[in-house]
């Protein structure tokens, strides 16, 4: 797709990958709207260059209202980037159902709520692009990532199924699977994060992929190769390898 001159809405744009994508889209000539719960952070990201429309991704009505505001102020979005995300390490010894539910609400229901706010209009127009930010953590199960990885795996499946469902109706669906990116969400991690990249590099990879009409954007390349190969490892071998760590 052509980003210059397009109307783009980034959901989850107050920090991290979402904020960086919003900035990169603006730099490439897009008209950008940004949403998240934190208005003050959105104002910082916008710096007066973007339409700020606060909304909580877990609130379906709030997102529907935000989408209507954006259509009125900027026109219907050609591109919607769903970048809102939640991550906390899971602990098998002290399973936290509330924390698991929070992952579901933000990562999975948040994706559904955004789709409900924009997909019908895109289908009616017969055009538009939806890019959902999942994660390579959704490719295989990893200890400590039970909640996060489960929701990311579900996002990957959801976006793939939706891509097939709307393929002949003019709407494109892109799945974005980053590896480790330096953000507020990862800065508290105490474990090694191989191939760690900065958020602005992630944003460039995403925007490059969108301009090339990629249906799947995985980065950085070394992490993409590792996790693609990991999908081929038999389940028993995968469990044995990681249970020894």
Gap between the Cα atoms of 196 and 181, Å rounded:
5
Burial of 18 (0-12, 13-18, 19+ CB in 10 A): buried
Q: Which pLDDT band holds residue 242 (cuts at 50, 70, 90)?
A: confident
166-194 pLDDT, tens digit per residue, is 999 999 999 999 987 887 777 676 667 67
pLDDT of residue 218: 94
Between 235 and 26, whose confidence is greater? 26
Q: How is residue 135 written in tokens?
A: 């994660």
Mean pLDDT calculated for residue range 99-124: 97
Identify the CATH assignment for 7-243 out of 3.40.50.300, 3.10.20.310, 3.40.50.720, 1.10.3720.10: 3.40.50.720
pLDDT at position 40 is 95
In tens, the pLDDT along 34-89 reads: 999 999 999 999 999 999 999 999 999 999 999 999 999 999 999 999 999 998 88
Asked whether the CA dihedral 121, 130, 208, 167 is positive or negative, the reply is negative
Position 245 scores a pLDDT of: 63
The model's pTM is 0.91
The pairing of strands 181-182 and 197-198 is parallel
Q: Nearest-CA neighbor of 131 among 14, 9, 4?
A: 9
CA distance 140 to 130: 24
Residue 178 sits at φ, ψ, to 5 deg, of -75, 155
Q: Which residue has the tokens 């783009």?
A: 8
> Picking from 29-33, 90-94, 208-212, which range would have the lowest pLDDT averaged per residue?
90-94
Residue 187 is given by DSSP the state T
Indicate the Cα dihedral angle 74, 11, 184, 193, nearest 10°.
-120
Select which of 9, 87, 139, 148 is catalytic: 148
What whole-number distance in Å separates Cα of residue 88 and Cα of residue 153?
16
Q: Which of 84-93, 136-145, 207-216, 232-241 has the lowest mean pLDDT?
A: 232-241
Q: State mean pLDDT over 150-178.
A: 96
Q: Is 148 a catalytic residue?
A: yes
């Amino acid at each position: 797709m052509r980003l210059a001159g397009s109307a783009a809405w980034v959901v989850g744009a107050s920090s991290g990958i979402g904020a960086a994508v919003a900035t990169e889209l603006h730099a490439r000539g897009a008209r950008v709207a940004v949403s998240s719960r934190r208005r003050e952070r959105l104002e910082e990201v916008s710096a007066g260059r973007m339409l700020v429309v606060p909304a909580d991704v877990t609130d379906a009505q709030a997102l529907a209202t935000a989408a209507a505001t954006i259509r009125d102020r900027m026109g219907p979005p050609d591109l919607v980037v769903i970048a809102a995300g939640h991550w906390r390490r899971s602990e098998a010894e002290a399973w936290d159902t509330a924390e698991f539910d929070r992952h579901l609400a933000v990562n999975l229901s948040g994706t559904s709520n955004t789709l409900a706010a924009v997909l019908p209009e895109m289908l009616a127009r017969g055009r538009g692009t939806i890019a959902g930010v999942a994660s390579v953590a959704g490719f295989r199960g990893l200890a400590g990532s039970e909640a996060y990885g489960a929701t990311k795996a579900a996002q990957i499946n959801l976006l793939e199924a939706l891509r097939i469902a709307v393929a002949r109706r003019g709407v494109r669906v892109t799945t974005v699977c980053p590896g480790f990116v330096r953000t507020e969400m990862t800065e508290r991690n105490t474990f090694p994060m191989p191939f760690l990249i900065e958020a602005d590099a992630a944003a460039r990879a995403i925007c490059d992929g969108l301009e090339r009409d990629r249906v799947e954007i995985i980065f950085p390349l070394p992490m993409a190769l590792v996790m693609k190969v990991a999908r081929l490892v038999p389940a028993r071998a995968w469990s044995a390898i990681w249970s020894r760590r």
